[in-house]
């Protein structure tokens, strides 16, 4: 258990770093603003720099933070649900359904504005398929959920390959960016923030139940949890988080796997600390990754999914190695 003072300090630090990263992201880019220009831009939203900061960079940074937090929370939940530290938000096919629907929309020439809606619809279809096939009678079966989810994800992957093969050449690049995960066209609709806030509060309320659940279903039942209900609730919450993230930014990889892991190594596995820490660090991590994606080869923009993988993998290996030495 982390002492209260230390916990508060950690949360404060992560909140300040998150705010700082978002502010920095509004100043940095293909056009770099110095401190004076940036302050003027903040005060005058109608000016050219003001437009850049308020209309383009701030929504994008906000979207990056939100998506990072959504994916990290979802990763934490999936890991408890499947009782496997290698689980990630995409493992049960939610993102596959979302991607297929979005790519189908692109193939048929749908406008960019309807893509999030299409993606959410595809994700929902996938959630319903997996839920109804895996549920059945009898006790909770993690194996059945995992197999149903993984096989459904493979099915979506096959359909996506089919679309990529048959799709018009002109839309291939857009499709690829979606599959890697990209924030170039991301906006920050209010409902995504609402999804994050509401589910976050629910999760914090059940954080102690998640701690018990992480010790196994039988242990959780013996300690007073109605595990069947709890596990399906965790599945649905994690799926909604993933669907929301994917619908605005595509399949950004590694964040939902690596951030929960990193935070487990740093703060332990008490979900009352882990969930807020993972959400804030995930947001911070994705804002920084996206800022790099915009600037590293400026004026060309990279899909942020490439950067999260390139940053995340070495960071993760380094921390894993340090954790081993400490033991």
Partner 1 sequence: MSVLACAGLDVRIAGIRVVDGLDLDVRPGQFWGLLGPNGIGKTTLLRCLAGLGEPVAGRVLLQSRDIATLPRKLLARHLGMLQQHTAYVFDSSVLQTVLTGRHPHLGYWQREGSADIDKARHALAAVDLAGFEKRSVTGLSGGEARRLAFATLLVQEPDVMLLDEPTNHLDPRHQLKIMRMVSEHVRRADGSALAALHDINLAARYCSHVVMLFGDGAWCAGETGAMLDESSLERLYGCPVERLEGRQGPRFHPAEPGDPGA
Which residues are near partner 1 by CB under 8 A? 1, 79, 83-85, 205-206, 208-209, 211-212, 214-216, 218-219, 221-226, 264, 268-270, 272, 327
Long-range contacts of residues 110-114, Cβ cutoff 8 Å, at least 24 apart: 112/185
User: Cα 276 vs. chain centroid, distance in angstroms?
Assistant: 14
Look at residues 73, 83, 101 and name the one whose alpha carbon lies nearest to residue 247.
101
CB 307 within 8 A of CB 252: no
Query: CA-to-CA distance for 43 and 56, rounded, in angstroms?
Result: 16
State whether the Cα torsion 292-101-175-236 is positive or negative.
positive
Q: How far is the CB of 18 from partner 1 (least distance, A)?
A: 24
Q: How far is the CB of 279 from partner 1 (least distance, A)?
A: 18
Q: What does the alpha-carbon distance between residue 145 and residue 170 come to, in Å, rounded to a whole number?
A: 38
Q: In the numeric block, which tokens belong to residue 259?
A: 């951030």
Residue 291: DSSP 8-state: H
Q: Shortest approach of partner 1 to residue 85 CB, angstroms?
A: 7
CB of 87 to partner 1, least distance (A): 11
| Minimum distance, C-beta of residue 138 to partner 1, in the bound complex (Å) | 11
Q: Which residue number, 49 or 208, has a Cβ lying nearer to partner 1?
A: 208
Kindly tell me which of 83 and 144 has the beta carbon lying closer to partner 1.
83
d(CA 136, CA 257): 29
Rounded to a whole number of angstroms, the minimum distance from the CB of residue 23 to partner 1 is 33
User: Is the Cβ of residue 148 or residue 269 nearer to partner 1 in the bound state?
Assistant: 269
- CB nearer partner 1, residue 49 or residue 142: 142
- Is 275 within 8 Å of 73 (Cβ atoms)? yes
Contact 126, 94 (CB under 8 A): yes
Q: Give the nearer residue to partner 1 in terms of CB position, either 144 or 221.
A: 221
Residues 6+ apart with CB under 8 A from 118: 101, 102, 104, 105, 110
Q: Which is nearer to partner 1, 166 or 201 (CB)?
A: 201
> 176 or 223: whose CB is closer to partner 1?
223
CB of 204 to partner 1, least distance (A): 8
Min CB(190)–partner 1 separation in Å: 26
The answer to whether 288 and 21 are in contact (CB under 8 A) is yes
Determine the Cα–Cα distance for residues 235 and 277; give it in Å rounded to an integer.
Answer: 21
Residue 222 or 296: the one with the smaller Cβ distance to partner 1 is 222
**Dist CA 219 CA 277 (whole Å):** 26
């Amino acid at each position: 258990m982390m002492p209260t003072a230390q916990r508060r300090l950690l949360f404060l630090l992560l909140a300040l770093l998150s705010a700082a990263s978002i502010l920095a992201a509004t100043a940095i880019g293909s056009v770099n603003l110095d401190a004076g220009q940036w302050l003027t831009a903040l005060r005058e939203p109608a000016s050219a720099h003001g437009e850049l900061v308020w209309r383009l960079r701030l929504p994008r940074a906000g979207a990056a933070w939100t998506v990072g937090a959504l994916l990290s929370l979802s990763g934490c939940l999936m890991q408890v649900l499947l009782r496997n530290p290698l689980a990630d938000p995409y493992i049960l096919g939610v993102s596959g359904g979302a991607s297929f629907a979005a790519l189908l929309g692109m193939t048929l020439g749908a406008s960019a504005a309807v893509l999030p809606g299409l993606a959410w619809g595809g994700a929902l279809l996938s959630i319903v398929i997996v839920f109804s096939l895996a549920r059945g009678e009898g006790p909770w079966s993690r194996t059945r959920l995992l197999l149903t989810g993984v096989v459904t994800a493979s099915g979506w992957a096959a359909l996506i390959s089919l679309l990529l093969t048959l799709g018009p050449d002109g839309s291939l690049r857009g499709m690829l960016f979606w599959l890697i995960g990209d924030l170039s066209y991301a906006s920050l609709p209010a409902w995504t923030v609402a999804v994050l806030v509401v589910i976050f509060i629910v999760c914090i309320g059940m954080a102690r139940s998640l701690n018990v659940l992480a010790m196994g279903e039988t242990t959780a039942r013996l300690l007073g949890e109605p595990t069947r209900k709890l596990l399906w609730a965790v599945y649905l919450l994690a799926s909604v988080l993933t669907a929301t993230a994917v619908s605005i930014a595509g399949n950004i990889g590694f964040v939902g796997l690596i951030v929960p892991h990193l935070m487990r190594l740093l703060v332990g596995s008490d979900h009352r600390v882990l969930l807020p820490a993972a959400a804030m660090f995930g947001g911070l991590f994705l804002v920084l990754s996206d800022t790099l994606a915009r600037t590293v080869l400026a004026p060309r923009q990279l899909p942020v999914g490439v950067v999260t993988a390139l940053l995340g993998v070495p960071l993760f290996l380094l921390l894993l190695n340090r954790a081993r030495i400490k033991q």
